[in-house]
Amino acid sequence: KSFTSIWVPYSVRLYIADQLYDEKEFRVEDIVIPDPPVGLNWTVLNISPSGVYTDVQVTWNPPPSADVDNGWLIPFYQLQFKDVNETEWHELDPKRATEIPVYSLKTCHDYEIRVRAKGTPEVYGEFSDVLYVSFDSKGLVPCEEEFQIPWPVVLAFGILGLMVMLSLVFFSKQQKLKILIFPPVPVPKIKGIDPDLLKK
């Protein structure tokens, strides 16, 4: 038996009846899949003025086996969260930091948060234990933003706009309206009478 070391390239060969079938070169840091992060915790960052939404900061510790302090592995972390009554998890972009803010959580809901890590490869390790986030404010704050439409202002602007439109229509069609209201008097057409003489 032999032991591998970090940052040392290795080559693995597969023989079948003294015939080389396959060969693979790798480094340990390129194939390792880290253990889950530990010690998840959360704190409140900000609460919206209405109290409907809350921003939280989620923190955790790296996997103990990764030996991050000595630089053996600097993993990427992916945080996922969901409402406890939902089944679909929402993913945040992977980051190397061990703290990530989660914005606009509804204060009247409870959430579950989990984190997983990956090294150089695109394969994630197992998820951490689920962190439960509860704001203990059910019934104390509304679940939706309360937006009231100022109906008197809307009505005033509507009437003003209607009056402007009617004025524009009236002035653009003034000549036609005059003809409709006061039609021109027809000129008498009697044979043998000159209209020009009648004008005199």
* C-beta of residue 127 within 8 angstroms of C-beta of residue 118: no
Angle (CA) 146 90 111, round 5°? 60
**Do 126 and 39 share a domain, yes or no?**
yes
Six-digit token string for 85? 């009554």
The last residue of a domain, from among 120, 138, 156: 138
pLDDT (0 to 100) of residue 81: 97
CATH code where residue 89 lies = 2.60.40.10
**Do 152 and 114 share a domain, yes or no?**
no
Higher pLDDT, residue 42 or 68: 42
Angle (CA) 155 156 159, round 5°? 85
Q: Does residue 10 surpass a pLDDT of 50?
A: yes
List residues bridging with 103 in a β-sheet.
none
CA distances from 185 to 31, 177, 178, 179, 200 (A): 101, 16, 13, 11, 17
Q: Which domain holds residue 58?
A: 34-138
**Do 47 and 134 share a domain, yes or no?**
yes
Closest by CA position to 143, among listed 117, 107, 178: 107
The pLDDT tens digits of the residues spanning 93-118 come to: 999 899 999 999 998 889 999 999 98
pLDDT (0 to 100) of residue 174: 66
pLDDT (0 to 100) of residue 77: 93
For residue 158, being part of any structural domain is answered with yes
**Do 110 and 170 share a domain, yes or no?**
no
**Do 154 and 95 share a domain, yes or no?**
no
